[in-house]
Amino acid sequence: MKNPLQLTHEISRYKTDIWNDSCSVQELEYSIKYSSCSGATNNPVIVGNVLKKEFNLWEKRIHEIIKENSEDTEIEVTWKLIYEMTKKGAEILYPIFQKENGMKGRISIQVNPKNWTNSELMWKQAVEFDKLAPNIIVKIPVVKAGIKAIEEAIYRGVNINATVCFTVPQCIAVAEAVERGLKRRLDDGKDIFKMTPVCTLMVGRLDDWLKVYANKKNIITDPWNLEWAGIAAIKKAYKIFKERQYKTRLLAAAYRNHLHWSELIGGNIILTIPYDWQLKFNNSKIEVKNRMDNQVDEKIINGLYDAFSDEWKKACDMKEEERVNFLLKLYENQLKTVGGAEYVRSFEMIGPHNQVIYYLVFGTKHPKGLEVMKEAMWRVDPRGTYRFSDITDVNQIYMIDYQDKPHWVPQAALKVYEAFKRKTVSENEICQFVITDTPFIYRKAILKWLEQNEKIIDVTGRRRKFSYPDGCRITFSN
């Protein structure tokens, strides 16, 4: 008979992932066996707690580290121990990492908290941590300098786990930083396929803070509301992430009650659960079913707004530019659901002083209409008096100069490769994908770039290399 956490993973069709909230060897072994664990978290505080439990496993190695590095300070010795404990956890998780083709099976290690105001020190340390093992993911705090560090680390190919995050606006700031870093990688022709960025939302810490705030301000509210605050926040963030198709996955941390597990079952989300809570959940009789899409009771939301107006708005409300994106997305959805348009594309109309003048939203029922529209938009004003930003996703804006092939062709090519790697498809399927699912126009230069860069390994139905006639079939590499 399977445990509730194993069923959590299965019932979600393997989208809801369980991580162990420490690098403890004993806890990881339990978590992998009984909770379908596929990752782990780690930081200096966690290392200290693990040592209290498993000092016998590390005592000999600690003495060896001190002997091998006799001139090191205690802090330097501590960091070397953190590296080794992280690498041990990475070793335990590595079979999962291999099985999942690098998409799961990672362990987190956190940058030095003392550097929280220095973006450069954080991203440089992240780059060094990334070399410890193939399946490392680096924790960076969601502070002003941390957002800059996250973008730079992503650009340099480091998978990140944004931490010290308690609110929806923080989550959005992380996701936007990740998107900027990914775009820079694509612009430089670098792969993003195995980038698995994560944003932690400490659901229990939000609950904790509202309880503290209520005591400080002598606020009375239904106590049940305070157990739902973190869940309300992460469900709101999850909905926004899903609508905007951010690559970043949300991760729920800081467990205080079963809602922090049971209400998130079924989502494409990570649950980093402490060992003690895993034992409780696996011993519980709570029904394991999909609740991720269930909305939080409106009475609870209203109760939080009534009791904690300012604090709750800080935790959950969107900024002005986010409202613009939300309304734009809403209008696009209305064109599809009410107007019957199958293909919708949005453009920012940007004037000579780089200001947004207005938005142009185009809808059509046929891909040919979309193709004609895209061709026309990119040719409408060759003098550059106005520019057009294709907003394929509300979180991703493309400013494309089609006379500059070295710039845009690699971006388009990598989009194609991400969609068709390990597959054999027709040239027409690729053409349709570029037209309907990317901001680019279709040119066979895209296929030539892919073949030159060994992303295409075979083309049947042609007479000469670097030609892609109608009807040919194209096989992509792994």
Q: Return d(Cα 33, Cα 42) in angstroms, integer.
A: 20
- Helix boundaries (H) for 246-379: 259-262, 275-282, 298-307, 309-316, 320-337, 367-377
The model's pTM is: 0.68
User: Are the beta carbons of 199 and 167 closer than 8 angstroms?
Assistant: no
Q: What is the pLDDT of residue 311?
A: 77
Residues of the chain with pLDDT below 70 are 318-331, 333-334, 337-338, 348-358, 377-405
Q: Is 441 helix (H, G, I), strand (E, B) or coil?
A: coil
Torsion angle, CA of 319/325/331/336, rounded to 10 degrees?
A: -130
Q: What is the pLDDT of residue 341?
A: 84
Q: What is the pLDDT of residue 361?
A: 79
User: Are the beta carbons of 433 and 419 closer than 8 angstroms?
Assistant: yes
Task: Report the DSSP beta bridge partners of residue 273.
Answer: 20
Q: Report DSSP letters for 313-341, one per residue.
A: HHHHPPPHHHHHHHHHHHHHHHHHHTT--
Start-to-end C-alpha separation, the chain: 37
Q: What is the pLDDT of residue 309?
A: 79
User: Are the beta carbons of 65 and 77 closer than 8 angstroms?
Assistant: yes
Long-range contacts of 191-196 (CB under 8 A, 24+ apart): 191/414, 192/247, 192/414, 192/418, 193/417, 193/418, 193/421, 194/101, 194/102, 194/103, 195/154, 195/157, 195/159, 195/247, 196/102, 196/103, 196/104, 196/106, 196/137, 196/159, 196/249
Q: What is the pLDDT of residue 339?
A: 73
Q: What is the pLDDT of residue 357?
A: 63
Structural domains in the chain?
Answer: 4-316 (3.20.20.70), 321-476 (no CATH)
Question: From residue 18, how far is each of 223, 340, 441 by CA, in Å?
Answer: 28, 40, 41
Count how many Cα atoms sit within 13 Å of the Cα of residue 27 in the half-sphere of its side chain. Answer: 27
pLDDT in tens, 158-210: 999 999 999 999 999 999 999 999 999 999 999 998 899 999 999 999 999 99
Q: Return d(Cα 21, Cα 19) in angstroms, integer.
A: 6
- What stretch of H or E contains 267? none
User: Are the beta carbons of 107 and 40 closer than 8 angstroms?
Assistant: yes
Residue 261 CB neighbours (<10 A): 25
